[in-house]
Structure 1
Amino acid sequence: MIFSKDYVTYLAKQTVQHLIDAKMLRTGKPGVLNERVNQGLLDELSLEDRINDEVRVILETFQDDMRKTGASYPEMFKKVKNELVRKYKAVL
């Protein structure tokens, strides 16, 4: 993830506070709302990490074939990652 978890927590808290101050949200439990926004941000920001992990697992299974054919790991990584991004309809 490109941001630290502490920074994401800070962003979530600031976002919720800004929306409450702008009267775009009303809540009796801002702590619960902060936690839900924080979790949503963490899920979205860690999506690329999860896709990268899946790509590594896939390429590990084809490691011998790639070595035999002389395929470039970085090129294959990029191709498989693009396919998974398309499959999951993710925006990175």
Structure 2
Amino acid sequence: MLSSFLPMLFSKDYVGYLSRQVVRRLVEAKMIRTDKPAIVAERINAGLIEELSLEDRINDEVRVILEAFQDDMLKSGASYPEMFKKVKNELTRKYKAVL
């Protein structure tokens, strides 16, 4: 499900590694207690992938929006890169995302 959005900065393997390290260090620092660190690491992994793939999902949504207005953009002479940036900024605000 989430892994289909992974053309992001980090590989799935690296994100998994980071998740396991976070759990290990939190347990060692006695900040959390768990008898199922693998399950905690899986949940952290899912959260990290969700956050890291947010920009990819926003970019996909921008492309869909601009495709719908392609004819209007051609008529008005609007620049695709400029419109992409404007729409992306609007969606980023809408989703309260930090990219």
Same fold per superposition (TM over 0.5): yes
Match of 2:67 in 1: 60
Q: How many angstroms apart in 2 are the aligned matches of 1:76 and 1:51?
A: 14
Aligned: 1:41 with 2:48 = yes
TM superposition score normalised by structure 2 = 0.91
Q: How many angstroms apart in 2 are the aligned matches of 1:32 and 1:19?
A: 14
Runs of 4+ residues over 4 Å off in structure 1:
none
Q: What amino acid does structure 2 have at the position aligned with 1:45? A: L
Q: How many angstroms apart in 2 are the aligned matches of 1:64 and 1:6?
A: 42
Q: How many angstroms apart in 1 are the aligned matches of 2:80 and 2:55?
A: 18
Q: SS of the residue aligned with 1:25?
A: coil
Among 4, 22, 46, which residue is 2:11 paired with? Answer: 4
Q: How many residues align?
A: 92
Match of 1:91 in 2: 98
Shift of 1:68: 1.0
Q: Which runs of 5+ in 2 are unaligned?
A: 1-7
Aligned: 1:29 with 2:22 = no
Aligned residues with identical type, % of pairs: 75
Q: How many angstroms apart in 1 are the aligned matches of 2:97 and 2:68?
A: 24
CA-based RMSD = 0.6
Q: What amino acid does structure 2 have at the position aligned with 1:24? A: M
Among 79, 82, 87, which residue is 1:75 paired with? Answer: 82
